[in-house]
Amino acid sequence: MKMCSRDLTRPPREYYKMLLIVGSIFVALLGVTEAQKEGESCEIKSNRGICLEASKCMDLPYIMSQLGLKRKDISRCGFTTYEEIICCPTLPVPTSTIKTRSDDRPAVRACNEINDKLQPLLTPHILDGTPVELGEYPHMAAIGLMNTDDEVEYNCGGTLISNRFVLTAAHCLVTRQIPVTVRMGVVNFNNPEEMKSVVEVKIKKVHIHPDYTSATVYNDVGLLELEEEVAYTLNVFPTCLYTEPSDPPPNAQLYVAGWGVINRQTREKSNILLKARQVIVDNVRCNESFVDNGLTRRNRQGIIASQMCAHDPGLTKDACQGDSGGPLTLVVDEALNKYSVVGVISAGFSCGSATPGLYTRVSAFLDYIESVVWPS
């Protein structure tokens, strides 16, 4: 993924001291429950919560006011060396959004189940930065492909959409390299501590859209069926499929993410998961761009309704080689890690060029995805 670099500085120590003081105010009169670890689920007066250090329980006064809680209602989970771990309450998803009807399509029912189990991110996002925090995109997967030297290379991305299936691009699955494994639960492949908890699952079966052919960029969607169900954690969790046939609204927050190429000259890939903000380009303008640049050999029908385009207006942040198959993600509720995968990285001309990146539109392939992932 080609992105501009910038220096990211941590807030001064006084900032954390301030958070600790604020957190201490709210836990001064707390009750004590059986000791629990940070990240575990907890309950406050029939409301769901998560055990967090007090300084990490953002917007606590607001959440308490919304739930009608008092300071005495917030219980302790335990202690760290320097700080209490409290049961940080979470606002429930509105009932109207999680109610499942018998006539809801499988993708909608699956999304409702996902949203009902979401937990807030434990650590703040890096402001204005492009590295992805551990646990920020728990749906991201790296696809390991076996090369001719019997070595596994992580050359494509994917999205966990259930405990058994990863969504990706068909063109990642028809190369000389054989898809053999899926890696999840980490963002930095060079971090030994993260890699101790890496989740790697072998691939049982490859599903390629029946109308896909490598001669074109149409129907570029596929699914990886895993040998075993993955256990959900804060760092491994599926995301929803975007079901609206139209583009997200113009003000939507959309990000592309991957471990792909970061240097077009050296072809160096990133060992850290990176994200980049993208803006939708309507299909008419996108098609004109492809035609103007003579990029019509593999899309002779033009950019069609089952595809979509996006780019960085600054032409510096973009998906690149090695990012294929990864998601174009819509941010629904960042605080709750609530996302929806809108597109699958399909093709593009160079990286960060004036020609928008081409994506497979997820909503156009719901029937196919559901027939494989949720057949009953």
pLDDT in tens, 118-172: 766 544 332 233 788 888 999 999 999 998 888 898 989 999 999 999 999 999 9
CA distance 11 to 9: 7
pTM: 0.70
pLDDT of residue 30: 42
Q: Please identify every residue annotated as catalytic.
A: 171, 220, 324
pLDDT in tens, 51-70: 888 777 766 776 787 788 88
Residue extents of the structural domains in the chain? 40-89
Number of H helices, E strands in the chain: 7, 18
CA distance 192 to 196: 6
pLDDT in tens, 300-358: 899 999 999 998 775 544 454 547 899 999 999 887 889 999 999 998 654 555 678 89
Long-range pairs, 283-287, Cβ under 8 A, ≥24: 283/307, 283/308, 283/309, 285/309, 286/356, 286/358
pLDDT in tens, 16-32: 444 444 444 433 434 44
Rg over alpha carbons for the chain, rounded to the nearest Å, is 22
271: left (phi over 0), alpha (psi -120 to 50) or beta: alpha
